[in-house]
Amino acid sequence: MSAKLNALNSDSYIDVSQYRDQHFKGNRYEQEKLLKQSHTLYVGNLSFYTTEEQVHELFSKSGDVKRIIIGLDKIKKTACGFCFVEYYTRADAEHAMRFINGTRLDDRIIRTDWDAGFKEGRQYGRGKSGGQVRDEYRQDYDPARGGYGKLAQQHPAGESRNSF
């Protein structure tokens, strides 16, 4: 019976995820506090070609968007597949977590997560090659995200890594 009753108040789509920003200036407690009050979402798995206009159109469906910051490759200064969306109210951001997270933008399933708040410098990818860390190591071919992952590009499959 109590499982059903938990369903009455369940709102799991707006829960804070396990991810914590390693570069966050402050302790875990402070970061969690900010996440729970945040009006800003991190949006991941974007195509490199997804524009601010497309992000604005989609995310406006859950409320008025205050600001969008497109994530950039640190070296090339071109879009590298993520962005931040800031709303005027927490409630609007929550609706985005419930109804836009896990749906498609530019034919790709995008993922949203709470963000502690945009600070200058956070718009850059943290991967060694300038893009996002996930694009350093992935093995698959994704034409909307620069093709193969950076490591796989340097060591294409089929070439042996060890000389023995």
Partner 1 sequence: MSGTLPVQRRSSSKQEIIDARLLPEKLTVYTTLVGLLNARNYNFGGEFVEAMIRQLKETLKNNLYNEAVYLVRFLSDLVNCHVIAAPSMVAMFENFVSVTQEEDVPQVRSDWFVYVVLSCLPWVGKELYEKKDVEMDRLLSQIEGYLKRRVKTHVPMLQVWTAEKPHPQEEYLDCLWAQIQKLKKDRWQERHILRPYIAFDSVLCEALQHNLPPFTPPGHMPDAQYPMPRVVFRMFDYTDAPEGPVMPGSHSVERFVIEENLHCIIKTHWRERKTCAAQLLSYPGKNKIPLNYHIVEVIFGELFQLPSPPHIDVMYTTLLIELCKLQPGSLPQVLAQATEMLYMRLDTMNTTCIDRLINWFSHHLSNFQFRWSWDDWSDCLTVDLEKPKPKFVKEVLEKSMRLSYHQRIVDIVPPTFSALIPAEPSFIFKYADESASSLPGYAVSITVGNAIKNRASNEEILTILKEVPNPNQEDDDDEGESFNPLKIDVFLQTLLHLAAKSFSHSFSALAKFHEILKTLTDSDEGKLHILKVVYEVWRNHPQMIAVLVDKMIRTQIVDCAAVANWLFSQDMAHEFTRLFIWEILHSTIRKMNKHVQKIQKELEEAKDKLEKQQHKRVTDMDKNSEDEEGQLEEQIERLQEKVESAQSEQKNLFLVIFQRFIMLLTEHLVRCETGSVDISTPWYKNCIERLQQIFLMHHVTIQQYMGTLENLLFTAELDHHILAVYQQFCALQL
Summarize as ranges the residues that interact with partner 1 (CB under 8 A). 1-2, 4-5, 7-8, 10-14, 51-54, 56-58, 61-62, 64, 68-70, 95, 98-100, 103-107
Least Å from the CB of residue 74 to partner 1: 18
Q: What are phi and psi of 14, to 5 degrees?
A: -100, 5
Q: Which is nearer to partner 1, 55 or 149 (CB)?
A: 55
Least Å from the CB of residue 122 to partner 1: 15
Least Å from the CB of residue 24 to partner 1: 24
Least Å from the CB of residue 85 to partner 1: 12
Least Å from the CB of residue 99 to partner 1: 4
Q: Which is nearer to partner 1, 43 or 70 (CB)?
A: 70
- CA torsion angle for 100, 119, 67, 77 (degrees, to 10)? -90
Q: Which is nearer to partner 1, 95 or 150 (CB)?
A: 95
Q: Which is nearer to partner 1, 6 or 22 (CB)?
A: 6
Q: Which is nearer to partner 1, 37 or 103 (CB)?
A: 103
